[in-house]
Amino acid sequence: MKALIIEDEKPSARRLSRLLEARNIEVAQMLHSVAESIAWFKANTAPDIIFLDIQLSDGLSFEIFDQVAVRSPIIFTTAYDEYALQAFKLNSIDYLLKPIDEEELEAALVKYRTLGGNNAEVRIDFEDIRKLLVNPVGREYKNRFTARVGQHIKIIPTEEVECFYSENKGTYAATTEGRSYLLDTTLEQLEEELSPEHFFRVSRKFYVQVNHIADIIAYSNSRLKVKLNRFNEQEIIVSRERVKDFKLWLE
């Protein structure tokens, strides 16, 4: 059996290669980008099986299949959390959550063989998976928040929030009216309540809403600075390790 690994994190690709070779599976090639993968498929015979990371250095791996027809069975390798994995499970041989567990790898290979190896009938709708990554089926998000203002309760529609941020152990919503309101929640709790289509956590301190971004500026140490329409109380810096995901989120 010949396998192809498409993975932009080279240490992860090398580890997976070692795990496969220990199971007498030949790794035909390790590819690390969309462009490199497209070129390889145009010049080579399709492998028996593909281990496919979702997010590569130059875009989503689905873009490969916009350019070339690939019928090899796919096992996804992904760092996405479980809410999106139903799509991978339905549309592929299997998925492996990184860091890859050896027992889970073995189970995925058993499933591949049970389904008939490279004759397995697997139909992958990448557009459906794209949608599920952004807006998982059955997932509902908050459309308003409340904040106490003196003796009153302020209702804050989510679309009017430019950003959520933490300060002095409190969590605030900065709105389009230029005010910030203290909320009874944390940024960690907000992670489950905000639509990933509209909000992105750019750092430990800030969530920003895409509809209220006025400008994005290159910043020191390969970071980015985000300017919002009204909020200017603090600098909003996209942390270095989140820059790649942030750029993909903007597309």
Would the pLDDT of 121 be above 70? no
Would the pLDDT of 79 be above 80? no
Q: Long-range contacts for 191-200 (Cβ within 8 Å, ≥24 apart)?
A: 193/141, 193/142, 194/141, 194/142, 194/158, 194/164, 195/135, 195/141, 196/134, 196/135, 196/249, 197/134, 197/135, 198/158, 199/164, 200/245, 200/246, 200/249
Residues 6+ apart with CB under 8 A from 191: 201
Instruction: Answer with the residue of higher pLDDT: 63 or 81.
Output: 63
Confidence of residue 87 (pLDDT cuts 50, 70, 90): very low
Name the pTM for this structure.
Answer: 0.52
- Cα–Cα distance between 50 and 112 in angstroms, integer? 11
- pLDDT, tens digit (0-9, with 9 covering 90-100), for 42-68: 999 989 999 998 888 888 888 888 888
The pLDDT of 12-28, averaged and rounded, is 93
- pLDDT, tens digit (0-9, with 9 covering 90-100), for 151-177: 999 999 999 999 999 999 899 999 999
Residue 69: per-residue pLDDT: 83
pLDDT > 90: percent of the chain: 50
Q: Long-range contacts for 100-104 (Cβ within 8 Å, ≥24 apart)?
A: 100/12, 100/15, 100/16, 100/19, 102/19
- Cα–Cα distance between 55 and 42 in angstroms, integer? 21
Would the pLDDT of 208 be above 90? yes
Q: How far is CA 132 from the centre of its chain?
A: 11
Confidence of residue 90 (pLDDT cuts 50, 70, 90): very low
In degrees, rounded to 5, the angle at the alpha carbon of residue 250 between the alpha carbons of residues 249 and 251 is 95
Domains of the chain and any CATH numbers: 2-134 (3.40.50.2300), 144-250 (2.40.50.1020)
